[in-house]
Amino acid sequence: MRFVRKKLVNLLIVLLSVTMLSFLMINLLPGDTADVICGPSCDEAAREQLREDLGLNKAIPVRYVEWLGGAITGDLGRSGRTQQPVMEAIRERLPVTLQLLVYSQVLALMLAIPAGIMAARRPGGWFDKTSTGTVFVLLGIPQFVMAPLLIYFFAVRWQIFPAIYKEPGGFFELLKNLFLPAVSLAAAEMAVYLRLLRGDMIATLQEDYIMMAKAKGLSNSRILLRHAFRPSTFSLVTIVGLNMGRLIGGSLIVEVIFAIPGLGRYAVEGIFGRDYLAVQGAVVVIAVGYVLINFAVDMLYAVLDPRIRHARAVI
């Protein structure tokens, strides 16, 4: 368990540094929460009083420790704009972002896996060439171009899917309402996964046991699906995991475009409204998510591959 312990210590160090850095950054920049709550209307005395009440006059390290103490017990402070506790807002918004994430990853994998296998079956064949070309183009299309493109066709021209997120009534409505945002996110992800799976599949297909399977006279599809697919998904699993972590904070443009009340939009609104504690809370949740998922992926590695679990010298 030395491996796990070392990773856990790393995790703690990164989490502490991230929160400290974001706290420092937010507090060193001009303007503070008192200005936001007070607005331009109040005088210097009232503003000073407010600073005193909010504890903004204490030294930054003291405030950080106080904030950290609150954060550990689940209190991230109150939003300067809405007076809503930050923790409560995050609890409302995180599920929507997570739904969007899972949905987009499922869509991306549903396309990437069959296409990746097909492409690896005959490297250099027509399917491989077209899919490689498509992947290349998809990787060049940013989310804020993909989303208007999808809205134009699916919402404006054909009116199949809504362009603005509405609170869904049931599971199928959720799938429908989140379809365009999920595809906007999934397009580039799909391209990455396809490329990765294709490469790994081609490598796997060079292994001895594949030749053995061929020699036994197994059908092509059986070899691809039963023998070559699973060992080739190793890095795919990793990247999907890492992307989930990255996308918690990376879906904010899509959330803004489709007016999805998710965590990314909360952070953006916080930044625009100079709502420092809200931004801090969102950044912490996003960073914690990223670090935790990284940790989980490392663990998954060790579970999947005994060579890593036992290779003490390497780690």
Partner 1 sequence: MPVPSSDPQADESSAAAASATAAALLVAETLADEDVVKKKLGFGFYISAGWVVLISLTALLAPFLPLQKYDKTNLVPQRLDPFQKYYVAHDYDPESDLDSTKSFEYVNECQDHLEDRGGFAEGLRYCSNQVAVLGADSLGRDILSRVVWGARVSLIVGLGAVTLGMLLGGSIGIIAGYFRGRTETALMGIMDILLAFPALLLALAIVTFADNHSIPVVVAAIGLVGIPPVARLIRANTLVYSQREFVLAARTLGASNKRVIVREVLPNVALPGVSFAVIGIAIAIVAEGGLAFLGLSVDPPTPTWGGMINDGRNFLEDAPHITFVPAAVMVITVLALNFAGDRLRSLFDVKEGAL
Q: Which residues bind partner 1 (CB under 8 A)?
A: 13-14, 17-18, 21-22, 25-26, 29-31, 122-124, 136-137, 139-145, 148-149, 151-152, 156, 202-208, 210-211, 231, 234-235, 238, 246, 248-250, 252-253, 256-257, 264, 267-268, 271-272, 274, 279, 282-283, 286-287, 290-291, 301, 305, 307-308, 314
Which amino acid belongs to residue 92? Answer: E
Residue 85: DSSP 8-state: B
Q: How far is the CB of 173 from partner 1 (least distance, A)?
A: 23
Evaluate whether 80 touches 275 at the Cβ level (below 8 Å).
yes
Q: How far is the CB of 282 from partner 1 (least distance, A)?
A: 8
Q: How far is the CB of 144 from partner 1 (least distance, A)?
A: 5
- Give the DSSP H or E segment for 228: none
Contacts 24+ apart (CB under 8 A), 33-38: 33/80, 33/274, 33/275, 33/276, 33/277, 35/274, 36/80, 36/81, 36/273, 36/274, 36/275, 36/276, 37/80, 37/81
Which lies closer to partner 1 via its Cβ, residue 35 or residue 92? 35
Which lies closer to partner 1 via its Cβ, residue 179 or residue 290? 290
Whole-angstrom distance, CA of residue 147 vs CA of residue 164: 11
Q: How far is the CB of 194 from partner 1 (least distance, A)?
A: 16
Which lies closer to partner 1 via its Cβ, residue 172 or residue 216? 216
Which lies closer to partner 1 via its Cβ, residue 54 or residue 188? 188
Q: How far is the CB of 172 from partner 1 (least distance, A)?
A: 26
83 Rama sector, left if φ>0, alpha if ψ -120 to 50, beta otherwise: left
Closest CA to 306 of 223, 250, 234: 234
Which lies closer to partner 1 via its Cβ, residue 104 or residue 143? 143
Which lies closer to partner 1 via its Cβ, residue 252 or residue 277? 252
Q: How far is the CB of 164 from partner 1 (least distance, A)?
A: 12
- Structure-token pair, residue 220: 């092509």
